[in-house]
């Protein structure tokens, strides 16, 4: 089995790469080439950059349609989850439209923004056993309820895990979430 990390133009693709390759022993490639990614069994949209920059990069590389049409199990992390939605308030960006709804900006005078640190996720259904603390670093969030499989609370209740068909999105960074994060990645891999 081989997993393709989609190079979305951001820095720090190595965090997720090392997590899969060095700590979970998975064969993995980082690429922005459709041909290269086509040869993999599952895709990861890594959680770096901003929605506008990532979407522009994917459009330039003609990867937007590829991701939209793929039947491979695909995990979007943080920004990678945001771009699965219709749109994001971040840079007022049109996203892939795989999951309906808009990504919103946290607004608060009492809480610091971005949310940065470890927060609890209450997982539902298949994700119930994955309820745990995970690492978050985000200023934007989803309030989707129809595709939600995990909820957390910061400023307001927000959706921390979504799934639609072969697409899973997580607002947190599993590659940085200690053993809980590794178990989450193992769950994703088990679905491939």
Partner 1 sequence: MLTKRIIPCLDVKDGQVVKGVKFKNHKVVGSILDLAKKYSDEGADELVFYDISASTNNTMVSKKWIEEIAKNINIPFCVAGGINSIESARLILNSGADKISVNTPAIENPILINELAKAFGSQCVTVGIDSMQESDQYIVYSKTGNVNTSFNTKILTKDWIIKVQELGAGEIVLNCMNQDGVKRGFDIKQLNYMSDVINVPLIASGGAGKEIDFFNVLNNPKISGALAASVFHNSEIQIEDLKNFLKQNNIHIR
Catalytic (active-site) positions: 78, 173, 175
Q: Is the peptide bond before 96 cis (omega within 30 degrees of 0)?
A: no
Write down the least CB distance from residue 1 to partner 1, Å.
21
- Measured over the CA atoms of residue 111, residue 113, residue 118 and residue 122, the dihedral's sign is positive
CB-CB contact of 18 with 49 (8 Å): no
Number of CB atoms found within 10 A of residue 27's CB: 11
Q: With binding defined as CB under 8 A, does residue 112 bind partner 1?
A: yes
Q: With binding defined as CB under 8 A, does residue 15 bind partner 1?
A: yes
Write down the least CB distance from residue 84 to partner 1, Å.
18
Q: 182, 177, 186: which is closest to 133 by C-alpha?
A: 177
Write down the least CB distance from residue 152 to partner 1, Å.
8
Q: Alpha-carbon distance 51 to 115, whole Å? A: 17
Q: Toward partner 1, which CB reaches closer, 152 or 163?
A: 152
Write down the least CB distance from residue 85 to partner 1, Å.
18
Q: With binding defined as CB under 8 A, does residue 13 bind partner 1?
A: yes
Q: With binding defined as CB under 8 A, does residue 138 bind partner 1?
A: yes
DSSP state of 50: -
Q: With binding defined as CB under 8 A, does residue 136 bind partner 1?
A: yes
Q: Alpha-carbon distance 106 to 173, whole Å? A: 18
**Residue ranges that bind partner 1, judged by CB under 8 A:** 10-15, 18-19, 22-23, 48-50, 109, 112-120, 133, 135-139, 153-154, 173, 175-179, 181-182
């Amino acid at each position: 089995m081989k997993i393709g990390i989609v190079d979305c133009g951001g820095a720090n693709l190595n965090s997720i790469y090392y997590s899969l390759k060095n700590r979970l022993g998975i064969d993995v490639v980082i690429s922005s080439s459709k041909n290269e990614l086509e040869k993999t069994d599952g895709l990861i949209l890594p959680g770096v950059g901003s929605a506008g920059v990532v979407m522009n990069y994917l459009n330039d590389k003609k990867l937007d349609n590829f991701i939209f049409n793929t039947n491979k199990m695909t995990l979007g992390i943080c920004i990678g989850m945001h771009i699965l939605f219709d749109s994001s308030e971040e840079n007022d960006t049109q996203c892939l439209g795989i999951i309906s709804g808009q990504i919103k900006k946290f607004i608060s005078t009492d809480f610091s923004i971005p949310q940065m640190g470890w927060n609890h996720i209450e997982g539902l259904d298949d994700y119930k056993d994955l309820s745990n603390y995970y690492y978050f670093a985000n200023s934007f969030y989803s309030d989707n309820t129809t595709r939600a499989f995990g909820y957390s609370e910061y400023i307001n209740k927000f959706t921390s895990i979504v799934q639609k068909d072969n697409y899973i999105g997580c607002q947190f960074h599993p590659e940085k979430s200690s053993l809980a994060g590794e178990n989450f990645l193992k769950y994703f891999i088990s679905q491939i």
